[in-house]
Copies of this chain bind each other. A is one copy, B any other.
Amino acid sequence: MKVVIVGGVAGGASCAARLRRMDEKAEIILVERGPYVSYANCGLPYHVGGVIEQESSLLVATEQMFRGIFTVDCRTSCEAVAISPKDKTVQLKNHATGETTTESYDKLVLSPGAAPIRPPLPGIDLPGIFSVRTVPDARGIREWLDEGSTGLVEEPATAGFQPLDKKRRAVVVGGGYIGLEMAENLAHRGLDVTIVEMLDQVMAPLDPECARLVERHLEGNGVRVALGDAVAAFRQGKGRALEVHTKSGQVHPADIVILAIGVRPETALAKGAGLTIGERGGIRVDEQMRTSDPHIFAVGDAVEVRDFVTGEWTLIPLAGPANRQGRIVADVIAGRDARFRGTQGTSVIGLFGATVAMTGANEKLLVRLGQTDYEKVYLFPNSHAAYYPGARTVVLKVIFRKSDGRLLGAQGLGRDGVEKRIDALAMAIQMGATVYDLEESELCYAPPYGSAKDPVNFAGMVPADILRGDMPLCHWDALGDGFLLDVRNPAEIEAEAVPGAVNIPLPALRARLGELPRDREILVICRSAVRAYYATRILLQNGFQARNISGGMLARSMLAQEKQEKLVRQ
C-alpha cells in the first residue's frame, strides 16, 4: 500500500500519523508546498501580536519527527502539481531543486487547505499588504512592523513615518475570525486598527444582533469598525505608508494592511484531476471523505462538508474537523469503516478579554433555507453565582425546533464562562438533545464556576416554558400592535424607557390588573425577561392575553440604534 498525502498541515498531518499507527508497513509520502509541516496556523495572529513569542513554538511537529517516529517520507517545499487518476500518479515539484518527479499511489489524500482570497484590486500587490496563512506570512508581517518601528525611532520627523506621538495605523480588510484576531493582536502591539468589512456585520457565522455586541466591544477597545464598505483600491502613500480607498469614498491611511477577506478552497489540483467540485466551491466527498475518484480522498478546508444540523453542503474551514477528517481517511485506507458525521461549526474567538463562541445553526441560515419550525430566545444569565465576586453576564441566543424541542444552535458572548456553555450545547446538539434535556442537565456547580441553575439549564427551561405554552413569546422585531407593559422599577424606567410602554412594577401588578386591557395582547417588558416572565404568568392566569418580549431591555440594546427606531413603535 502506497499512500501519497498532499498537504502537511492539520488534516494531512493527522492522516499521515494515524495511518502509520494503523498500518506499519504502508509506504507513506507526505508532501507540503511550504517550508513547514504541521505548523500551528491558528497561532499565527498571536505570533504577530507577540503573545506567542517564538516562531519555533508554532512548529507542532517537524519533518524530522515525521521521518523518525512515523517513518513517513516527509517532503517540504514540495508541491503536487498534477494528478493522473487513470495512471494513479501524482507529479511532484521540488521547489528547492526545481525538479519534477512522478510518484505512483494506491491511495491519494488531498489536504491542500484554502487560500486567502486576494481580489484583483488595484494596488493589491503593494508592499505592506499581507495575508495570514503561513509561518512566512507571519514572519513577513513581524519584519514589516519591526522595520517600520525601527525607522520610526530613527527618523521620527521624516516624511512617510508618523511622528512618535502618532500611532501607526493598520487596516484589516475583513471582519471574520482571522481579521478580528489580527485586529486584536495589532492593537496589542500598539497599532491603531481599522477593520473594513463588506457585510453589514463582523463574524458572519453570528446573527447580526449578536455581531453588534462584538462590534461595540471592538470599538470600546479602540478598534474602528467600518461596515458595509469594500476596498476599491490600495494606493502608495508617502514612504512606506499606504492608503486604502473604499467604494464609499473613504480613504483609510495605513502603515500596514492585512487581507483577511476570507478563504477559498484550493481546488486547482482536484479540478485538474477531474474530481467533482460542489456548488459551494469545495471538493465534494462522501461520508468517508472519498472524492469522485475512489482512490482519492480529500480533507480539511478544501472540501465541502455536510452541516450536521441542516444537512446542507457547506464550507467550514476549521482545524478540529480537518483533524478528524484526516483520522477518518487513515482509518478508511486501513480498511476500517469510519465516517464523518458532518460539521456543527462550533467555534470560538477571544477578543480583548471577551469570548464569543457558537455551535450549530444560526438564524440567518434557517431563514435562508426557508425554515419556519424554529424559535429563539435571548438569555442573560450570570457566568457564575451572582453573590461570588466577578460574576459577569453571559449573553446567549438559543435556537430550537418548535415541533419537537430539538436544540439547533447557540451563540454566546461574554467575559467569562462562555465557551464552556457552548461546549456543553455543542455536545447536546451532537447527541440530538432537546431543550427538555437541557432543563435536566447536571453541570458543574460551585459558586466560582456556575450557578445551581446553569446557563445551560436556562437554555432549556426558557424554551421549554415556551413550547409547553406557559410563556408565549414575542420579539422586538415583531411586536405587532400589542399593549406594551413595562414591569421594571421606576428608577430603571428613568434610566431607559421604551416609548409608548405603560409602567406597572412587578410587585404592584396583581393589585393593578384593572388598568390593563382585556381586548389586546399585552407584551411584557423588563430588563432581562425574568420579571416579565413572572408577570406574563400572572396575566395569563388572570385571563389576559400576554407575551413576554424575549430578552427584555438587554435584547433590545443588542439591536442597532437605527433598527430600534424602526422596531419600537412610538
Name A residues whose Cβ lies closer than 8 Å to a Cβ of B. 10, 20-25, 40, 42-43, 46, 51-52, 57-58, 60, 68-71, 177, 181, 308, 318-324, 327, 336, 340-341, 343-344, 346-350, 355, 357, 359, 385-389, 419-420, 422-424, 426-428, 430-433, 437, 439-450, 452-454, 456-457, 461, 468, 470, 506-507, 510, 531, 533-534, 537-538, 541-542
The answer on a CB contact under 8 Å between A343 and B387 is: no
What CA separation (Å) do A336 and B386 show in the bound complex? Answer: 31
Contacts of A428 in B (CB 8 A): 427, 431
The answer on a CB contact under 8 Å between B447 and A423 is: no
Q: A43-B447, A322-B452, A446-B350 are in contact. Are A341 and B440 (CB under 8 A)?
A: yes
7 A-B pairs, CB-CB below 8 angstroms? A42-B385, A52-B447, A71-B510, A177-B446, A323-B452, A348-B449, A357-B444
The answer on a CB contact under 8 Å between A446 and B42 is: yes
Contact among B22, B46, B386, B388 for A388, CB-based, below 8 A: B46
Contacts of A437 in B (CB 8 A): 430-431
Contacts of A449 in B (CB 8 A): 348, 350, 355, 419
Ranked nearest first, the 5 interchain pairs of A and B with the lowest CB-CB distance are A420-B420, A431-B431, A24-B541, A348-B444, A319-B452
Contacts of A68 in B (CB 8 A): 507
Contact among B320, B324, B440, B446 for A324, CB-based, below 8 A: B440
The answer on a CB contact under 8 Å between A348 and B446 is: yes
Contacts of A386 in B (CB 8 A): 60
What CA separation (Å) do A454 and B10 show in the bound complex? Answer: 14
The answer on a CB contact under 8 Å between B387 and A57 is: yes
The answer on a CB contact under 8 Å between B25 and A387 is: no
Residue of B nearest to A60 (CB): B387
What CA separation (Å) do A322 and B347 show in the bound complex? Answer: 33
Q: A51-B389, A422-B444 are in contact. Are A25 and B541 (CB under 8 A)?
A: yes
The answer on a CB contact under 8 Å between A447 and B40 is: yes
The answer on a CB contact under 8 Å between A24 and B537 is: yes
Residue of B nearest to A321 (CB): B442
Contacts of A448 in B (CB 8 A): 46, 350
Q: A320-B452, A426-B443 are in contact. List 14 more A-B contacts (CB 8 A).
A: A24-B537, A40-B385, A46-B447, A70-B534, A319-B452, A320-B445, A323-B452, A324-B457, A346-B443, A349-B446, A359-B444, A427-B456, A431-B431, A431-B432
The answer on a CB contact under 8 Å between B10 and A452 is: yes
Contacts of A71 in B (CB 8 A): 510
Closest beta carbon of chain B to A522's beta carbon, Å? 15
Residue of B nearest to A454 (CB): B320
Residue of B nearest to A418 (CB): B444
Contacts of A308 in B (CB 8 A): 442
Contacts of A388 in B (CB 8 A): 43, 46, 51-52
Contacts of A10 in B (CB 8 A): 452
The answer on a CB contact under 8 Å between B43 and A453 is: no
Contacts of A430 in B (CB 8 A): 433, 437, 440-442
Closest beta carbon of chain B to A37's beta carbon, Å? 15
The answer on a CB contact under 8 Å between B431 and A443 is: no
Residue of B nearest to A318 (CB): B445
What CA separation (Å) do A323 and B423 show in the bound complex? Answer: 23
What CA separation (Å) do A69 and B533 show in the bound complex? Answer: 12
The answer on a CB contact under 8 Å between A69 and B534 is: yes
Closest beta carbon of chain B to A326's beta carbon, Å? 10
The answer on a CB contact under 8 Å between A389 and B52 is: yes
What CA separation (Å) do A320 and B445 show in the bound complex? Answer: 7
What CA separation (Å) do A440 and B427 show in the bound complex? Answer: 10
Contacts of A441 in B (CB 8 A): 426-427, 430
Closest beta carbon of chain B to A321's beta carbon, Å? 7
The answer on a CB contact under 8 Å between A426 and B444 is: yes
What CA separation (Å) do A58 and B385 show in the bound complex? Answer: 10
Contacts of A542 in B (CB 8 A): 24
Contacts of A69 in B (CB 8 A): 506-507, 531, 534
Q: A10-B452, A323-B452, A538-B24 are in contact. Are A423 and B446 (CB under 8 A)?
A: no
Contacts of A456 in B (CB 8 A): 423, 427
Contact among B340, B343, B420, B541 for A423, CB-based, below 8 A: B420
What CA separation (Å) do A439 and B423 show in the bound complex? Answer: 14
Q: A24-B537, A423-B420, A507-B69 are in contact. Are A320 and B387 (CB under 8 A)?
A: no
What CA separation (Å) do A322 and B457 show in the bound complex? Answer: 14
The answer on a CB contact under 8 Å between B346 and A22 is: no
Which of A336, A344, A349, A420 is packed against the most chain B CB atoms within 10 Å? A420
What CA separation (Å) do A169 and B506 show in the bound complex? Answer: 50
Closest beta carbon of chain B to A104's beta carbon, Å? 23
The answer on a CB contact under 8 Å between B348 and A453 is: no
Closest beta carbon of chain B to A436's beta carbon, Å? 10
Residue of B nearest to A334 (CB): B470
Closest beta carbon of chain B to A569's beta carbon, Å? 29
